[in-house]
Chain A
Amino acid sequence: MSLPGAKRWLLLGIALAAVASHFAHSPELGLNRYYLGVAVDVGIAIILAVSLNLINGHTGQFSLGHAGFMAVGGYTAAKISLLISPAGEAAWGFPLALLGGGLLAALAGLLVGIPSLRLRGDYLAIVTLGFGEIIRVAVQNMESVGAASGLKGIPKYTTLGWTFGLAAITIYVITALVNSTYGRGFIAVHDDEVAAESMGIPTTRYKVTAFVTGAFFAGIAGGLYAHHKQFLSPTGFDFLKSIDIVVMVILGGMGRTAGVAAAAVILTLLPESLRAFSEYRMIIYSLLIILLMMLRPQGLFTFQRKQGGAS
């Protein structure tokens, strides 16, 4: 996807989102609330997967703590919304809340990025996992955000339009970033860190940038999630949630934005369609992960060797 292409997609995405938002929530159309909810879930999953893709796919830094960033963004955004207007009548505050959540998550990303300067591979994976868990434990102990019993009564501001508009922006920003001259550095870090370093690429700065940017969008996704479910509990942001996002990135083919977005759609719809077999749902899910890794480790939508760059 070249830059003009990406821009076209962005405009198309935002236009579609605006139209969808206008019609989907109008009562006369009478769309099923359940399907609307699932559609918003899909949009949030796209933002999460595409933002993690910048860290795991393009930059090649294995992060297992994406749910932690989402939690930071979600709780911050919810708290801001509740401070502005507890009754939920100040929808103008929503962008502000989302931005606040994103910024704080980016700060958390900066904190996680710093150890990544010294650690690689498995060590980095476990440290990011640890950060995710620390955030969860910290939230569990914060009375001001409801501690273990959760934060209730968040106003419902998230609409289909907000979700898909922001998803389009996320895809655009990350694609444009990676495809820019500056962004080639991410791919250089991914392909060969030592070679990149010796070519004069500031690898540490790229890694931290990837973490901060990825975390920012995860924070936005968290904010959308908070104002969609209207309830947050620390258990919703555990290790399993991070794994979900990682699986989306791998299923889509690391570093392939379109594939990752498609995988986010599939993996959000799949559990919904398996609801009828809820007893076996998670067993099937884990079997699918194993089979996928054996049969198509390069991702579902990768049919040829990547030619470098982001698609």
Chain B
Amino acid sequence: MDWLLQQLINGLGLGSIYALIALGYTMVYGVLRFINFAHSDILMLGAFAALYLEPHVSRMLGGPQSILGAILIAAVAAGLCALLGILIEFLAYRPLRQRPRLAVLITAIGVSLLIEFTAQHEKVFSAKTQFFPRLLPEHSFQLGQVYFSSTDLLVPAVTAAMLAAMWFIVQKTRTGTAMRAVSFNQQAASLMGVNVNRIISFTFGLGSALAAIAGILYAMKAPGIEPLMGVQPGLRAFIAAVLGGIGNLPGAVVGGLVLGILETFLGGIPWLSSYRDGIAFAILILILLFKPAGLLGKATVEKV
């Protein structure tokens, strides 16, 4: 029982991070209908931005590990990544807007490889793992035989807050209405006076900011950060987004949590633990075989 509870807490933490990254994937997919492979590298850049900001912020606030400092670091890193996301969309994806989706997908893979290999260059971040500073004071709690830390609580809380914020933006604001319109029918939306390019830029910015925050949270739980740190969580989050039905915000969160919890439980079984990297994909394939549109996605009928 304790083991179950402990795994549940671990799985919830992991799943929340996946969910946060999946939110970004799914939002971009919603408006542009393509998989932004560079998303996982934005996550890595977010973590590195935090690494380089931390000493400056600590000096400015007169001490490390303050809550204000952590918020400031996360906000600046998210802002930087949002700008970068907008820039990538503008330079690499926008010229391909009318091209087949496959061309855009390959470009996205190209952008992802470009960021990864540039970051691995020794004059940039170098390929070695770097220690990630502690941003917040950490407390440990014990309930019976179950241990958890303040980070374990923080991650799901941030994810929930972000989901709420995204839901509010998409459902309640004018920009959100425009986003949904672009997602529904780009041409019709532009005829109704929606500035499609601006909406797409905004979506990229928002998604990249989410990735940066997810990257910082991931780095707080991981032992260190390196230029390829985004690949595995990015892949899992992408699976989570597909699992929940890509383009669907609550679906991304459900997919992320399901994946995180299942992976932790199955990975905790001794003879399965070394297959951990394959488990996520096996779950995905199984679910897609029975629900091809994902858990919360609507099955669409192709019209001719």
- Residues of A bordering B, CB below 8 Å: 62, 115, 118-119, 121-123, 125-127, 129-131, 133-134, 136-138, 140-141, 194-195, 240, 243, 246-247, 250, 279-280, 282-283, 285-287, 289-290, 293-294, 297
Across-interface contacts of B276 in A (CB, < 8 A): 137
Nearest CB to that of B293 among chain A residues? A123
- Residues of B bordering A, CB below 8 Å: 34-35, 92, 95-96, 99-107, 109-111, 113-114, 117-118, 121-122, 235, 238-239, 242, 246, 274-278, 280-282, 284-285, 288-289, 292, 302, 304
Query: Contact: B103 with A138, CB < 8 Å?
Result: no
Across-interface contacts of B284 in A (CB, < 8 A): 126-127, 130
Query: Contact: A286 with B110, CB < 8 Å?
Result: yes
Known contacts A118-B289, A122-B34, A287-B114; is A134 also within 8 Å of B278 by CB?
Answer: yes
A137 interface neighbour in B95, B102, B278, Cβ under 8 Å: B278
Nearest CB to that of A137 among chain B residues? B278
Interchain CA distance A134-B34 in the complex, whole Å: 24
Query: Contact: A115 with B289, CB < 8 Å?
Result: yes
Nearest CB to that of B92 among chain A residues? A290
Known contacts A62-B102, A122-B35; is A127 also within 8 Å of B285 by CB?
Answer: yes
Across-interface contacts of A119 in B (CB, < 8 A): 288, 292
Query: Contact: B117 with A294, CB < 8 Å?
Result: no
Known contacts A131-B281, A137-B278; is A286 also within 8 Å of B114 by CB?
Answer: yes
Query: Contact: A289 with B109, CB < 8 Å?
Result: yes
Which of A121, A125, A136, A283 is the most central at the interface, judged by chain B CB atoms within 10 Å of its CB? A283
Query: Contact: A141 with B275, CB < 8 Å?
Result: yes
Across-interface contacts of A136 in B (CB, < 8 A): 277-278
Across-interface contacts of A280 in B (CB, < 8 A): 121
Across-interface contacts of B96 in A (CB, < 8 A): 293-294, 297
Nearest CB to that of A294 among chain B residues? B95
Query: Contact: B304 with A194, CB < 8 Å?
Result: yes
Q: Can you report 8 residue pairs joining A to B where beta carbons are below 8 Å apart?
A: A119-B288, A121-B101, A123-B242, A130-B281, A134-B278, A282-B113, A293-B110, A297-B99
Across-interface contacts of A289 in B (CB, < 8 A): 106-107, 109-110, 113
Query: Contact: B275 with A138, CB < 8 Å?
Result: yes
Report the minimal beta-carbon distance from A108 to chain B, rounded to whole angstroms.
13
A243 interface neighbour in B99, B109, B280, B285, Cβ under 8 Å: B109
Across-interface contacts of B302 in A (CB, < 8 A): 194
Query: Contact: A283 with B118, CB < 8 Å?
Result: yes
Interchain CA distance A290-B106 in the complex, whole Å: 8
Interchain CA distance A280-B118 in the complex, whole Å: 8
Interchain CA distance A125-B101 in the complex, whole Å: 12
Interchain CA distance A134-B282 in the complex, whole Å: 7
Report the minimal beta-carbon distance from B251 to chain A, rounded to whole angstroms.
14
Query: Contact: B114 with A122, CB < 8 Å?
Result: no
Query: Contact: A283 with B117, CB < 8 Å?
Result: yes
Across-interface contacts of A285 in B (CB, < 8 A): 113, 117
Report the minimal beta-carbon distance from A186 to chain B, rounded to whole angstroms.
17
Interchain CA distance A134-B113 in the complex, whole Å: 22
Query: Contact: A133 with B278, CB < 8 Å?
Result: yes
Interchain CA distance A141-B100 in the complex, whole Å: 39
Interchain CA distance A127-B280 in the complex, whole Å: 11
Which of B35, B95, B114 is the most central at the interface, judged by chain A CB atoms within 10 Å of its CB? B114
Listed from nearest, the 6 A-B pairs whose CB atoms lie closest are A130-B281, A289-B110, A137-B278, A286-B113, A286-B114, A282-B117
Known contacts A125-B105, A294-B96, A297-B100; is A133 also within 8 Å of B238 by CB?
Answer: no
Across-interface contacts of A62 in B (CB, < 8 A): 102, 105
Nearest CB to that of A281 among chain B residues? B117
Report the minimal beta-carbon distance from B268 to chain A, rounded to whole angstroms.
17
Nearest CB to that of B120 among chain A residues? A282
Interchain CA distance A127-B274 in the complex, whole Å: 21
Report the minimal beta-carbon distance from B278 to chain A, rounded to whole angstroms.
4
What would 18 more interface pairs be, CB under 8 Å, given A119-B288, A130-B281, A289-B109?
Answer: A115-B288, A115-B289, A121-B101, A122-B242, A123-B292, A126-B35, A126-B238, A130-B282, A131-B281, A133-B235, A137-B276, A243-B109, A279-B121, A287-B114, A289-B113, A293-B103, A297-B99, A297-B103
Across-interface contacts of A129 in B (CB, < 8 A): 281
Interchain CA distance A230-B109 in the complex, whole Å: 30
Known contacts A194-B304, A250-B106, A279-B121; is A290 also within 8 Å of B285 by CB?
Answer: no
Query: Contact: B114 with A141, CB < 8 Å?
Result: no
Across-interface contacts of B289 in A (CB, < 8 A): 115, 118
Nearest CB to that of A285 among chain B residues? B113
Across-interface contacts of A127 in B (CB, < 8 A): 284-285, 288
Known contacts A122-B34, A126-B239, A297-B96; is A283 also within 8 Å of B114 by CB?
Answer: yes
Across-interface contacts of B95 in A (CB, < 8 A): 294
